[in-house]
Structure 1
Amino acid sequence: MLKKSNRITTKFQFNLVRKYGIRHYLDFFQVNVLKPNNYEGPARVGFVVPNSIHKAAAKRNRVKRLLRESVRNRLTKLPENTWYVVSPNQKILKKTYEEIDSQINQFVQKISITR
């Protein structure tokens, strides 16, 4: 579980990132990235797993757990003062933790370079 200071928690924050953030597309998910003007603090991450991914809540929750754990392990490498919203697609259901983790790692490296 991510610390509260590292989570996007309100609907307003999610909508802000999804509307004004820059989209990055990877194989299993999309990441919206926003650097708010009036925010100074640690990187904050939110996860959106819609019903279109799978009808069963257990499958959607598994996807969220895998994504959260992978991001938590790389949180220190994410640039500060930035918000991220991760939205997976259906391909993620058949992937293992290692495959998801490598995609997250690839994204973090890409973001670190483009600071």
Structure 2
Amino acid sequence: MTAEERRGPIEGVDSLLAALADPTRRELLDLLASRGEASATTLAEHLPISRQAILKHLAVLDSAGLVSRARVRREVRYAVRPAALDATARWMAALAADWDRRLAEVKRIAEAAEREQG
């Protein structure tokens, strides 16, 4: 894996991970995933925070590419955009595989050194 791939082949990985670091935003994503789509008002009915706070969290999720918004008459509805999560999961899996290869090499070297001493 190249240094560029380790830094993050997907655009905006830092903002995506920062968005996911907040438990309220993760709960909003869970609610949206279970409902399909919902307005900020509907989401606020399920969380102990104001509609305005919900809107601020949704703005962070939107800018990270985790939710989309669509106007339906006078209401704005939000929905999960799984593509950003899928790309991040693939990046993290590639990073984990790279570390697994490195650790296996360290183990191989340590075992060879142990055999030589033994």
Specify if TM > 0.5: no
Q: Which has the larger radius of gyration?
A: 2
Structure showing the higher strand proportion among its residues? 1
Larger relative contact order (CA 8 Å, sep ≥ 6): 1
Structure showing the higher helix proportion among its residues? 2
